[in-house]
């Protein structure tokens, strides 16, 4: 059975979205476990960038600050797939010792290459709410 162009487009988009959610999960687990090398493998082989609160890192090793009892979780993923390119906006939650310590937003660009999805850029902006104004969880 052959599919129409529209059916194939929808299928490819859904498959891309599912794979991008898996990259997010792997990225978060590797960050949380302090696995620098594994975390870097979620980015494209060359030319990927990471920025945190406006500080841009071309060397991903310098950007890594994971592990140490922290757990990164991302939720509310808005993913747009366009062929081999994709963009994503999602909310970042950082837990330390099972207590919410920070929230923020990721703005990402991804690319499909070498049989998988990889981040080409990740921009993290932590929210600036004072701790005493944060809602209890």
- Model confidence pTM above 0.85: yes
Can you give the pLDDT at residue 10?
84
Can you give the pLDDT at residue 115?
93
- Nearest in space to 106 (alpha carbons), one of 128, 126, 136, 130: 126
CA distances from 27 to 69, 70, 90, 109, 137 (A): 16, 13, 13, 14, 24
Average pLDDT across the chain, whole number: 93
55 bridge partner residues: 52
Q: Could you tell me if 98 and 89 are in contact, meaning their C-beta atoms sit under 8 angstroms apart?
A: no
Q: Where are the domains of the chain?
A: 5-133
Give residue 74's pLDDT band: very low, low, confident or very high (50, 70, 90).
very high
The CATH number of 5-133, from 3.10.450.50, 3.40.50.1360, 3.20.20.70, 3.40.50.2020, is 3.10.450.50
Average pLDDT over residues 112-137: 83
Query: For the segment 78-95, what is each residue's pLDDT rounded down to a tens digit?
Result: 999 999 999 999 999 999
Average pLDDT over residues 21-34: 98
């Amino acid at each position: 059975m052959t599919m129409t162009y529209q059916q194939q487009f929808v299928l490819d988009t859904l498959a891309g979205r599912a794979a991008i959610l898996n990259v997010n999960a792997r990225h978060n687990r590797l960050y949380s476990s302090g696995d620098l090398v594994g975390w870097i493998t979620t980015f494209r082989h060359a030319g990927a960038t990471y920025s945190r609160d406006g500080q841009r890192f071309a060397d991903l090793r310098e950007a890594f600050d994971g592990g140490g009892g922290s757990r990164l979780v991302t939720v509310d993923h808005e993913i747009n797939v366009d062929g081999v390119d994709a963009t994503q906006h999602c909310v970042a939650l950082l837990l330390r010792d099972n207590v919410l310590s920070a929230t923020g937003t990721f703005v990402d660009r991804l690319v499909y290459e070498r049989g998988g999805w990889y981040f080409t850029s990740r921009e993290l902006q932590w929210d600036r709410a004072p701790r005493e104004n944060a809602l209890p969880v």
